[in-house]
Amino acid sequence: MCVQAFLFQLILVDIFGTTMQFLYPPFLWALTALSIPIVLHLFYFRRYKKIYFSSLRFLREVKEETSARNRLRNLLILLSRLLVFAFMILAFAQPYIPISETQKEGIHDISIFVDNSYSMQSFGQDLSLFDRSRQKAKEIIMGYGQEDHFQILGHELSPSQNLWISRDEALLRLEEMEFTPEVKPLSVVTGRQKQSFAREDGSPVAWIISDFQKSITDFNQVDSLYPLNLLPLKSVQEKNIAIDSAWFESPLQTLNQTAPLLFSIHNYTGEDADNVRVTVSLDGQERPEGSVDIAGGKFKIDTSNITVLSTGWHEVAIRISDFPVTFDDAYFLTFYVEQNLKILSINDHTSNEAVSAVFASQKNFILDQSTINSLEFASLTTYDLIILNELPSFSSGLTSVLHKYVQDGGKVLFFPAANGSLDSYNSLMTIMGAGKLQPFATQERQVGKINTEAYVYHNVFSRTRSNMRLPKVSASFPIEGSGSRGQSLLSFRDGGDLITFYTPGKGAFCVVTAPLDQKINDLSLQPEVFVPLLYKMSLYSSDERNLAYTIGKDQLIPMDKSKIDIDKDIQIKGSAQFIPGISALGSKILLDVQGQVKEAGFYKVTQRDSVISSLAFNYDRRESDLTLANVEELAKNKMLKIWTDEEKTDFTQLIEETRQGKQLWKWCIILSLIFIAMEIALIRLWKNR
């Protein structure tokens, strides 16, 4: 650095206690040119003309006074001119004051996360938050050098986004960015940035541009080695109404029967929403359901009646009208209607009236009755459910046939007899992989818990009441290791099980540890517990048919192995068409959608042009609530730097100042103009005398 620059720094250190530096210090040599006007001023060569006066005695006093005023005026004009040229020269040298003495030099690794979730559909002053975020990201990129490395991340966090690219490539990637249905917590994003920085040698700088919703803002610990810059964007109006979920009142949809479909609409704004229009479509046939009014911050559960007129797969879409955030204005679901379900009740002598009554009014359930003596083993495979109704014992042949039946996907519901053979029963229990039964014991036992997470009772109750009436028994077969091998459905207050559910092979085996006789067990007198047990045991399949799946969360879709030829190609067709990954898990096949589902809607699983299943995918509702995190609270974390997004803020300039220090060249230009004005004022307003 030249001598002039060094002297200026010494002066500033002495006056302001800081060090000014110059981007182009060689320009300071031009300060030596300031000596030229000084020399001209000191040696002002003017030829004087001699004039003879008769007497100068009366002019001497006036002349001395005028000469002093003129010298002061000329000195001020000279000083103004010197300062004009001095500050012009300083402007060319581009002085700046570094913000940090420990600022790192060299190549920077800049990782920029741009929130491209659907909540960024909200509008700011003139653009959507997503477009605004990309605009700010471009300004940030331009604030760094061509030699720096860049990384552009979105909620996908795909492998291609992990790459470090040039500045021009980063700008191009921003242009190509689109909305994604996937939503990641910001702690996951910062974790990915930290991993990326660990692979590079440059100075790390992390940026996150987002609306910072509470649902995803979860900064736990921030590493001081990796500076984290946050740029919060805020919409003009935080308003959104969403369909949260939908479900059927009954777990079973039957042919030619009306099924109540319930759906929840949530108003996430503080203002009341009136006349929200709702439409429901079944298999592409749309019909209006009217409109609903929802109080601010509340949700409302409404009902639509669905009448199924054909068997097979059916697709339902529920839609509302809302703007500007529209990703959660539709909810899709699919369900399957069996043509006929065949149930066989194997009885000792007589049928059970409670079982007959349950299926009597259901046209698509066919209930056959048979005694143990007239049973045809070959016909068992034609039934969807076999009920063992208080048989005193089982032959080894029947035990073997039942075992193969369950292994191949059949379902067995076992009610023991009070006088049944314990050895015969335990032979069946052992081959089914269930715990052994203990001797029949007379003891009153009250059911205290129902497992609503289990398949049989899942989505059966909208809520469970504390005073809900549950079965009780006067005698039972205690089961060894209750629930240790199977899933407890109804459990006694003393810890044992009344009903335990097992899944050997592809099918299901359900054990009730007390006889169905109403004198011993009042289970059949509790229809809200007894009826779902029979229905859902009939419907059970190792291919669990979810009504809907969530994009980004449900990547593995279970299917029944018996319905798929694993050696043949499987395709999923919808708004996108792709071949899923396949892996076996017991009696199931898991289809891996591999993040290929990007758009909500219906997708069909096909094999050899035959439809195996219909799937419904919905966008993640995590960001439906537009409530934002408290920026003031975030600012309390000293490891986070919060940037303010104002309409005229130029982030390119801000970052340059952050990297290089406070730029002073503009002030030099302003001061030059001020001193030019001062010179003009001196010349025009202060006349020579």
What is the predicted pLDDT for the residue at 641? 86
What is the predicted pLDDT for the residue at 103? 47
Q: Per-residue DSSP letters for 524-568?
A: GG-HHHHHHHHHHHHH--SS---S-EETTT--EEEEEGGG--TTS
78 or 301: which leads in pLDDT: 301
Residue range 455-462: mean pLDDT, rounded: 80
Q: Clarify whether residues 345 and 489 are in a common domain.
A: yes
Residue range 103-121: mean pLDDT, rounded: 84
Structural domains of the chain, count:
5
Q: Clarify whether residues 264 and 295 are in a common domain.
A: yes
Lowest-confidence region among 110-124, 243-257, 314-328, 502-516: 243-257
Residue range 593-599: mean pLDDT, rounded: 89
Residues 219-272: pLDDT tens digits?
A: 866 767 787 899 998 877 668 999 999 998 776 677 777 889 999 999 998 889
What is the percent of the chain with per-residue pLDDT over 70, rounded to a whole number?
86
Residue 635 lies in a domain: yes
What is the predicted pLDDT for the residue at 44? 56
Structure tokens at 238: 């935080």
With a threshold of 0.85, does the pTM exceed it? no
What is the predicted pLDDT for the residue at 52? 64
Q: Clarify whether residues 145 and 159 are in a common domain.
A: yes
Residue 350 lies in a domain: yes
**Residue 60 pLDDT more than 60?**
no
77 or 171: which leads in pLDDT: 171
Q: How far apart are the first and last CA of the chain?
A: 47
Q: Clarify whether residues 493 and 413 are in a common domain.
A: yes
- For residue 224, the tally of other CB atoms under 10 A from its CB is 9
Length, in residues, of the chain: 689
Residue 235: what residue type?
Answer: S
Q: Which domain holds residue 136?
A: 108-237+628-660
Whether the CB-CB separation of 261 and 316 falls below 8 Å is answered with yes
Produce one character per residue of 99-115: b if its CB has 16 or more CB atoms within 10 Å, e if not: eeeeeeeeebbbbbbbb
Q: Calculate the average pLDDT of the chain.
A: 85
Residue 684 lies in a domain: no
What is the predicted pLDDT for the residue at 636? 77
Residue 682 lies in a domain: no
168-175 long-range CB contacts below 8 Å, 24 or more apart? 170/112, 170/141, 171/138, 171/141, 174/114, 174/134, 174/137, 174/138, 174/141, 175/134
Residue 544 lies in a domain: no
User: In 3-state terms, what secondary structure has residue 351?
Assistant: coil
Residue 60: what residue type?
Answer: R
Strand order in the sheet with 472-476: 365-371, 341-347, 385-391, 411-416, 508-512, 497-502, 487-492, 441-450, 472-476
User: In 3-state terms, what secondary structure has residue 166?
Assistant: coil
Greatest extent of the chain over all pairs of C-alpha atoms, in Å: 162
**Residue 517 pLDDT more than 60?**
yes
DSSP-derived pairing of the beta strands 577-578 and 571-573: antiparallel
- For residue 653, the tally of other CB atoms under 10 A from its CB is 13
Please report which confidence band the pLDDT of residue 330 belongs to, taking 50, 70 and 90 as the band edges: very high
What is the predicted pLDDT for the residue at 364? 76
Which DSSP letter does residue 262 get? E
CATH number, domain containing residue 172 = 3.40.50.410
What is the predicted pLDDT for the residue at 55? 57
**Residue 10 pLDDT more than 70?**
no
Sequence-distant (≥ 6) Cβ neighbours of residue 292 within 8 angstroms: 265, 276, 278, 300, 302
Whether the CB-CB separation of 584 and 548 falls below 8 Å is answered with no
Residues 399-421: pLDDT tens digits?
A: 999 999 998 889 999 999 999 99
Domain C-terminal end among 101, 127, 149: 101
CATH number, domain containing residue 322 = 2.60.40.10
Spacing of C-alpha 547 from chain mean position = 21
Kindly list the distances between the CA atom of residue 464 and the CA atoms of 385, 451, 452, 459, 470, in Å, as whole numbers in the listed order.
28, 10, 9, 11, 11
667 or 368: which leads in pLDDT: 368
606 or 339: which leads in pLDDT: 606
Q: Clarify whether residues 410 and 523 are in a common domain.
A: yes
> Per DSSP, what are the bridge partners of residue 265?
243, 300
Closest by Cα among 280, 271, 209 to 240: 271
Residue 402 lies in a domain: yes
Residues 572-594: pLDDT tens digits?
A: 999 989 999 988 876 678 899 98
Q: Clarify whether residues 578 and 515 are in a common domain.
A: no
Closest by Cα among 537, 292, 272, 237 to 413: 537
Kindly list the distances between the CA atom of residue 138 and the CA atoms of 133, 476, 654, in Å, as whole numbers in the listed order.
9, 73, 13
Closest by Cα among 597, 598, 564, 611 to 583: 564
Residues 605-647: pLDDT tens digits?
A: 999 888 999 999 999 998 898 888 887 777 777 778 888 876 5
Residue 27 lies in a domain: yes
Q: Clarify whether residues 504 and 643 are in a common domain.
A: no
Whether the CB-CB separation of 415 and 512 falls below 8 Å is answered with yes
* Phi, psi for 352 (deg, rounded to 5): -95, 125
Lowest-confidence region among 267-271, 307-311, 361-365, 579-583: 361-365
Kindly list the distances between the CA atom of residue 670 and the CA atoms of 81, 87, 677, 683, in Å, as whole numbers in the listed order.
14, 9, 11, 20
**Residue 45 pLDDT more than 80?**
no
**Residue 36 pLDDT more than 80?**
no
Residue range 149-167: mean pLDDT, rounded: 94
What is the predicted pLDDT for the residue at 23? 66
598 or 52: which leads in pLDDT: 598
Please report which confidence band the pLDDT of residue 57 belongs to, taking 50, 70 and 90 as the band edges: low
Q: Is the dihedral of CA 18, 19, 24, 28 positive or negative?
A: positive
Residue 666 lies in a domain: no
**Residue 12 pLDDT more than 50?**
no
Q: Clarify whether residues 588 and 517 are in a common domain.
A: no
Whether the CB-CB separation of 257 and 646 falls below 8 Å is answered with no
Q: What is the spatial distance between Cα 584 and Cα 565, in angstroms, rounded to a whole number?
A: 12
Q: Per-residue DSSP letters for 58-89?
A: TTHHHHHHHHHHHHHHHHHHHHHHHHHHHHHH
Q: Clarify whether residues 526 and 640 are in a common domain.
A: no
Whether the CB-CB separation of 515 and 547 falls below 8 Å is answered with no
593: left (phi over 0), alpha (psi -120 to 50) or beta: alpha
Domain C-terminal end among 539, 572, 592: 539
Closest by Cα among 359, 363, 406, 361 to 386: 406
Sequence-distant (≥ 6) Cβ neighbours of residue 188 within 8 angstroms: 157
Q: Clarify whether residues 135 and 81 are in a common domain.
A: no
Residue range 323-341: mean pLDDT, rounded: 89
Spacing of C-alpha 623 from chain mean position = 6
Lowest-confidence region among 177-191, 235-249, 317-331: 235-249
Closest by Cα among 463, 450, 453 to 491: 450
Sequence-distant (≥ 6) Cβ neighbours of residue 404 within 8 angstroms: none
Closest by Cα among 42, 54, 70, 186 to 119: 186
Domain C-terminal end among 539, 565, 592: 539
Q: Clarify whether residues 392 and 512 are in a common domain.
A: yes
Residue 476: what residue type?
Answer: S
Residues 518-527: pLDDT tens digits?
A: 999 999 999 9
What is the predicted pLDDT for the residue at 657? 66
Q: Clarify whether residues 527 and 562 are in a common domain.
A: no
Q: What is the spatial distance between Cα 48 and Cα 58, in angstroms, rounded to a whole number?
A: 21
Q: What is the spatial distance between Cα 376 and Cα 401, in angstroms, rounded to a whole number?
A: 11
What is the predicted pLDDT for the residue at 111? 96
Please report which confidence band the pLDDT of residue 38 belongs to, taking 50, 70 and 90 as the band edges: confident
Closest by Cα among 471, 532, 539, 531 to 508: 539
**Residue 183 pLDDT more than 80?**
yes
